[in-house]
């Protein structure tokens, strides 16, 4: 089995609106493994590095202001196909285009308040995990694994 890891972050709007528990519950109950978790304030330099692919775009300054406006809940989740499946659970970038049942489709309206970030490829996940969790991740083997994977 190819096990992937994804960087998933509840943005300041999701933290302020009390959605952290629901979001963790969705990934946990689906069967993914929590490998890292912290609530933290984000400085400008980390926000700019995280979103470096968007530097120069019109929404970039607003995005950096938003991500640094309050604590975020940074997480690493692990499991089979977590990068793509994690994005499917999140929904489209614009919450108004996100299907009901997705996180953005259930809780969001505006693009600049879309609640959650999820890595868009295995390569970005590797980069983002290194950036947000330089201290490393927890090592453990969940006992439920044989009841999740065949
Ligand atoms: O990966 P994802 O978060 O779905 O979207 P990205 O295209 O990477 O954009 C990052 C972030 O920037 C997005 O979650 C909201 C914001 N944003 C925006 O405010 N306006 C846009 N036109 C595009 C993106
Ligand atoms: Mg993105």
**Which CATH number covers residue 96?**
3.30.70.141
Question: Of these residues, 117, 118, 119, 125, which one is catalytic?
Answer: 117
Nearest ligand 1 atom, CA 62: 19
Nearest to 86 by CA among 59, 58, 119: 119
Q: From the CB of residue 51, how many other CB atoms can be counted at a distance below 10 Å?
A: 16
Q: Can you give the pLDDT at residue 1?
A: 64
Q: For residue 60, which ligand has an atom nearest its CA?
A: 1
Nearest to 59 by CA among 132, 114, 129: 114
Averaged pLDDT for residues 74-92? 98
Q: For residue 59, which ligand has an atom nearest its CA?
A: 1
Q: Which of 11, 63, 92, 105 to mutate to test the pocket of ligand 1 (most atoms within 8 A of CB)?
A: 63
Within-domain flag for 25 = yes
Within-domain flag for 17 = yes
Provide the CA 60 distance to its chain's centre, in angstroms. 18
Which one-letter DSSP state was computed for residue 100? B
Q: What is the pLDDT of residues 20-54, one digit of tens each?
A: 999 999 999 999 999 999 999 999 999 999 999 99
Known catalytic membership, residue 117:
yes
- Residue 114 among known ligand-binding residues: yes
Within-domain flag for 148 = no
Q: What is the pLDDT of residues 60-74, one digit of tens each?
A: 999 999 999 999 999
Complex ipTM > 0.95: yes
Q: Is the pLDDT of residue 4 over 70?
A: yes
Number of domains within the chain:
1
From the CB of 120, is ligand 1 less than 6 Å away? Answer: yes
Q: Can you give the pLDDT at residue 2?
A: 72
Percent of the chain surpassing pLDDT 70: 99
Within-domain flag for 145 = no
pTM value is: 0.98
Domain range for 63:
5-138
Q: What is the pLDDT of residues 90-136, one digit of tens each?
A: 999 999 999 999 999 999 999 999 999 999 999 999 999 999 999 99
Within-domain flag for 22 = yes
Within-domain flag for 55 = yes
CA 88 to centroid of ligand 1, rounded, Å: 15
Backbone φ, ψ for residue 141 (5° rounding):
-115, 110
Element (H, E) at 84: helix 82-90
Within-domain flag for 96 = yes
From the CB of 114, is ligand 1 less than 6 Å away? Answer: yes
Per-residue exposure over 107-135, b if at least 16 CB sit within 10 Å of its own CB, e if not: bbeeeebbbbbbbbeeebbebbbeebbee
């Amino acid at each position: 089995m190819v096990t992937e890891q994804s960087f998933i972050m509840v943005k300041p709007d999701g933290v302020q609106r009390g959605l952290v528990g629901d979001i963790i519950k969705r990934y946990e109950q689906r069967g993914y493994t929590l490998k890292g978790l912290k609530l933290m304030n984000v400085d400008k330099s980390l926000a700019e590095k995280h979103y470096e692919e968007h530097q120069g775009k019109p929404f970039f300054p607003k995005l950096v202001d938003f991500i640094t406006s309050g604590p975020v809940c940074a997480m690493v989740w692990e499991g089979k196909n977590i990068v793509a499946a994690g994005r499917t659970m999140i929904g489209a970038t614009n919450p108004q285009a996100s299907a009901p049942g997705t996180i953005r489709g259930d809780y969001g309206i505006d693009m600049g308040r879309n609640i959650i970030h999820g890595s868009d490829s295995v390569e970005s996940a590797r980069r983002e995990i290194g950036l947000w969790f330089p201290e490393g991740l927890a090592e453990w083997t969940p006992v439920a694994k044989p009841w999740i994977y065949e």
